[in-house]
Amino acid sequence: MARPVIAIVGRPNVGKSTIFNRIIGDRLAIVEDKPGVTRDRIYGTGEWNGIPFSVIDTGGIEIDGEDGMLRLIRMQAELAIEEADTIIFMVDAKAGITNADEEVSQMLYRSGKPVVLAVNKVDNLQRMDDIYEFYGLGFGDPVGISGAHGTGIGDLLDAAVAKLPPAEEEEYDDDVIKVALIGRPNVGKSSLVNAILGEERVIVSDVAGTTRDAIDTPFERDGQKYVLIDTAGMRKRGKVYETTEKYSVMRAMKAIERADVALIVINGEEGIIEQDKHIAGYAHENGKASVFVVNKWDVVEKDDKTMQHFENTIREQFLFMHYAPVVFLSAKTKSRLTKLLPVVNSVAEQHAMRIPTHVLNDIIMDAVSINPPPTDKGRRLKVNYATQVAVKPPTILIFVNEPEMMHFSYERYLENKIRAAFPFEGTPLRLFSRRKSDQE
């Protein structure tokens, strides 16, 4: 099920990233010490009153070239208009209405998209009077908020969520493997789609999503039904999309959320860049089965060690996705293409695997007896038992005496022991600790 999308738009220095962090409940939008280099996350997920949604912080979108500040703001707003179901338009109570605010408001008004006007920096009661000026922008009642103090965020989310469309129900049967092809521009995603389908394809229909705007292609191979979700077909072409690498992450978001398996397509000729990590990281955080697909392998100069060296580089660059297999192929020549779908089938199966409770507990207790948890100030973590509570991804709950004593390194040790018995190739494995008395 694809979550509806809220985008935060506004000129610089109105506090977009602060509000973004407040909404998603984490400090993800952080600027590094190096000038001009951000490690901010322009996308995240939130939930309000039981309604999940994705959030885009357009302030994190940098446009190449020297187009001037107004041009930059317009392009960011254009992205938001294209991507979002509801837009939070942020302005600054201290500054009042500026020319840039007027410019953005005209674009948003013409778009017809639902807009919630958020007046930031309403840090005290005196500032509340300043919000009335913003009625002039024509978006109804402004919501006074303070990013610094966190006030008014609930009212803002009430207004934004009320304007969201309902989440889309998935229209495919459970036995269909939904495969998203994700990756930065020009890695060959569309070519790979065409190569996979080939001349023998059995297409039920080409489904153009109404709000998700992806191209879904159902097909069947060797008795297994699939749906390819092609992010390359999601949006119109244009300067704004070609001049920001971060846009490819935004395009991948909805596709990943709907997929069972994410094919992370890497350009074998160019190698790995930072953007590949952003896109892969989103698949990992969403708990999706994943496969690294190194495309354009036909044009890579190679010897008998090249493939192993490239895979080693992937392992070094994607330490957090040690579980994901790597497939080398060429969509153009179809070399090694036959290896891909069997790997997709395998990781989809692992993603949905459930370990019987008694077997899981045998693994955990053996691991504890071999390597007992370390002590902390005379206290020792006691592991009582474990049970798998979910699949897609496999999620394991471990009942212990003191959950806060479960160090991440010991949790990783237990995960490795579980994977030694059940590899779970291609899927993340989630472990959570809970106090034994909390189980009821």
Residue list, annotated binding site for GTP: 10-17, 57-61, 120-123, 183-190, 230-234, 295-298
In this structure, what DSSP letter does residue 288 have?
-
Q: Which residues are CB-neighbours of 204 under 8 A, at least 6 positions away? A: 218, 219
User: Do 294 and 310 form a contact (C-beta atoms < 8 A)?
Assistant: yes
User: Do 111 and 9 form a contact (C-beta atoms < 8 A)?
Assistant: no
Residues annotated within a binding site: 10-17, 57-61, 120-123, 183-190, 230-234, 295-298
Length of the chain: 440
In this structure, what DSSP letter does residue 414 have?
H
49 Rama sector, left if φ>0, alpha if ψ -120 to 50, beta otherwise: left
Three-state DSSP class for residue 361 = helix
User: Do 283 and 262 form a contact (C-beta atoms < 8 A)?
Assistant: yes
C-alpha distances in Å from residue 33, one per residue of 30, 60, 274: 10, 15, 18
- Residue 300's CB is within 10 A of a number of other CB atoms, namely 16
> Which tokens hold the place of 187?
């890695």
Question: In whole angstroms, what is the distance from residue 300 CA to residue 314 CA?
Answer: 16
Residue with tokens 């993800």: 28
